[in-house]
Amino acid sequence: MDLHRTFAEVVVWEDGRLRHAGRVDMTRSGLEGFAHTLRADDEVVIEATGNAMAVSHLLRPHVARVVIANPLQVKAIAHSHVKTDKIDAGVLANLYAAGFLPEVWTPDAATERLRRLVARRNQVVRHRTRLKNETHAILHAHLIPPCPHADLFSRVGRAWLERQALPDDEHAAVRRHLRELDTLGEDLAVLDRAIGETTVDSPVVRRLLTVTGINVTVAAGLAAAIGDVRRFSSPQKLVSYFGLNPRVRQSGLGLAQHGRISKAGRSHARAMLVEAAWAAAKAPGPLHAFFVRVRARRGHQIAAVATARKLAVLCWHLLTKEADYLWARPALVANKVRGLELQAGQPQKKGNQRGPAYAYNVKALRDQEMEIARRAETAYERAVAHWTPRPPKAVRGRLKPARLE
């Protein structure tokens, strides 16, 4: 089936031959009517589009299997100068019949819902960032110095903003931005509550919280992106899924050329891993030592991306082996878990009800955990001290054949 917004082109592959079966209306009633014409042993192939999951849910009870294809890989395998809807549907049928169709993993209902929540939260955060940038741009356009307060959008920051000498239309625009920020802040709180309720009992999220630099938001986003970790046979597969693997070009006798990361994957999860990498780089531990070691050779940005890749590998091992991070700080982890519980709407604890999360507020225990993390960092530095640095990248060109004596 070649899906469109209002219709789907259907081609049937049977006994090695293709047969055009017409069009189906892309409405619930139209798809249900089409589903009743299918047999229980039929297999349906569609491409990953915005409505592919809804089509899959409608057709799945009526057929043996619904397969969702990766459109980018299908295009790379079966590129054609003659392109019509019937040809596209026939390409999907032929590739699946030949066993060459690149499939997309279909998440379960809970993972799909978490993905939607995480995506909506990301949209709200991006909208808030855009409004804040527009407000700062208005001040910059009228030569107003930066706000002396820590947060321009706090109560005191807004009072300072109201006193600035701006034209009437600019003041109106700033007030409109502030009203939108307040509305988006309420929406963000609702989404955080929904994400917390969904992930508060998730063993995957709780295990990811043991890693330095990963907070509740990052852990929920990674859990939504990964889904079932068993679908990744190696940590390199997960790294590639996040688009953190370097591009490699090699031909003939020439040396392999490693370039920038591919960025071919879930961009939101990749951005959250980089965010966690920056946080991990500021805390003592092996990850901090790794960041410093790469930064000395390649700079801040590359070190952050390399640390994000190491975090992806670490997440694969933790989830596959069902083990917590070895150098986790117990009080900090308990504090993050308690934050997740509060985000999910669980009641506050007072007095004797306070659990291990409040040990993080005791300075002596916090300093003790920091000292253990520093020792782990020192041990990592000693372990890699004898490693020789990777040789510089070879100049592009062909290798000269060895001379026979």
In this prediction, residue 216 has a pLDDT band, given cuts at 50, 70 and 90, of: very high
Which H or E run includes 11?
A: strand 7-14
Q: Is the pLDDT assigned to residue 211 strictly greater than 90?
A: yes
CA dist list (Å): 104 to 11, 30, 63, 97: 20, 25, 18, 16
The answer to whether the beta carbons of residues 302 and 291 sit under 8 Å apart is: no
pLDDT band at 390 (very low <50, low <70, confident <90, very high): low
* pLDDT value at residue 336: 94
Helices (H) and strands (E) in the chain, counts: 15, 7
**Residue 289 pLDDT exceeds 70:** yes
Instruction: Report the 10 Å Cβ neighbour count for 219.
Output: 25
Give me the mean pLDDT over the 256-270 stretch: 85
On the question of pLDDT at 400 being above 90, the answer is no
Contact status, residue 26 vs residue 4, Cβ threshold 8 Å: yes
Cα angle for residues 223, 226, 228 (degrees, 5° grid): 100
pLDDT digits (tens, 9 = 90+) for 127-145: 999 999 999 999 999 999 9
**If pLDDT is split at 50, 70 and 90, which confidence band does 402 have?**
very low
Q: Is 254 in a helix, a strand, or coil?
A: strand
Burial of residue 279, with CB atoms counted within 10 A of its CB: 0-12 exposed, 13-18 middle, 19 or more buried: middle
Given a cut of 80, whether residue 397 has pLDDT beyond it is: no
Q: Is 15 left (phi over 0), alpha (psi -120 to 50) or beta?
A: left
Read off the pLDDT band of 351 (50, 70, 90): low
State the pLDDT at residue 405.
40
**What confidence category does residue 404 fall into, taking pLDDT thresholds of 50, 70 and 90?**
very low
Q: Where are the alpha helices (DSSP H) in 48-167?
A: 52-59, 71-77, 85-98, 109-141, 155-162
Place 247 in a pLDDT band, splitting at 50, 70 and 90.
confident
How high does pLDDT run on average in the chain?
Answer: 90
- Which string of DSSP letters, residue by residue, matches 270-328? HHHHHHHHHHHHTSSSHHHHHHHHHHHHH-HHHHHHHHHHHHHHHHHHHHHHT---TT-
Q: What angle do CA 77, 83, 86 make, to 5 degrees?
A: 95
Min mean pLDDT across 93-107, 154-168, 189-203, 295-309 is at 93-107
288, two tokens: 């901090």
| One-letter identity of residue 354 | R
Residue 149 has a pLDDT of 93
373, pLDDT greater than 60: yes
pTM: 0.86
What digits encode the pLDDT tens for the residues 151-196? Answer: 999 999 999 999 999 999 999 999 999 999 999 999 999 999 999 9
61 vs 386, higher pLDDT: 61
Structure tokens belonging to residue 322: 């069902």
User: Confidence class of residue 87 from pLDDT cuts 50, 70 and 90?
Assistant: confident
How would residue 359 be classed by pLDDT, with cut points 50, 70 and 90?
Answer: confident
pLDDT score at 360: 78
